Amino acid sequence: MEERLQKILAKAGIASRRQAEQLIRAGRIRINGQVVETMGCKADPARDLITCDGKPVVFEEKMYVLLNKPAGYVTTLADPQGRPVVADLLTKIPLRLFPVGRLDLDTEGALLMTNDGDLANSILHPRFEVNKTYEALVAGSPSKEALALLERGIMLDGVKTRPARVRVLQRRTSDTLIEITIHEGKKRQVRKMFQAIDHRVLHLRRTAYGNLGLGALPPGKFRILTPDDLKKIFLKKKSFTIKNIPD
């Protein structure tokens, strides 16, 4: 049966649907030897030979991993500058897993990695409102009024952010530890939000996706997720049925 090429690449674990579009635009995908040039192209994996960078696209067993990313690692599978990448921390896993979203080089914490592009797309899509919780150590002591701005939504790059949940964990003389929960994924969003209220982020760590937390997982280590773990990610259960999670 023919399907859109982005969906096929996502199912095969090559990339999320969004990332698959980038591969197509770069001319890295071929069907039966022909470079794909149109974004709406369809194919039948049972009949057509689909390749990415010359390698056949094959369907692998789905795997889901929660990694505690340390600072200093790039959230990609390869880096032209030769910096450490998160894939270096998963050498014991025989499958090629890609990160779901990104964490900045200096940001630590929870990073989902999988070869299930459909699930990754659902986590990243704003419609499903998957919460991401962070602990931010910020300079100074933000006032209640400043934090209320973040809770209501604040203008960043001409667009107002969605409401956030904010909780002060600890106030000290020169800095404050704050827990913030958002369900958007704009680049450097948490850092920009605090910068907008004049409190620079000194250290940032993502602690959870939905109700799936890091727990006692040490930095640089990972654990393979169970179906029950994955269901903790999606809080809007009525609007989304998880089809890709094995029983």
Which sequence spans correspond to the domains of the chain? 3-56, 64-126+214-239, 131-209
CATH of domain 64-126+214-239: 3.30.70.580
Tens-binned pLDDT, residue by residue, of the chain (247 aa):
788 898 888 877 777 777 888 899 899 999 999 999 888 889 988 788 999 999 888 777 789 999 999 999 999 888 889 999 999 999 888 888 989 888 999 999 999 999 888 888 888 877 778 899 999 999 999 999 999 999 999 999 889 999 999 999 999 999 999 999 998 878 899 999 999 999 999 999 999 999 999 999 999 999 999 989 999 998 665 343 444 443 3
Cβ 186 vs Cβ 164: under 8 Å? no
Catalytic residue chosen out of the listed positions 48, 79, 104, 229: 104
Is 157 tagged catalytic? no
Same-fold call for 3-56 versus 64-126+214-239: no
Question: What pLDDT, on the 0 to 100 scale, is given for residue 236?
Answer: 60
Angle at 141 between CA 137 and CA 145, to 5 degrees: 115
Q: Does domain 3-56 have CATH number 3.40.50.720?
A: no
CA–CA distance, 150 with 194 (Å, rounded to integer): 8
Helix (H, G, I), strand (E, B) or coil at 150: helix
pTM beyond cutoff 0.85: no
Options 3.90.1150.200, 2.30.40.10, 3.30.70.1560, 1.10.10.10; CATH for 131-209 is 3.30.70.1560
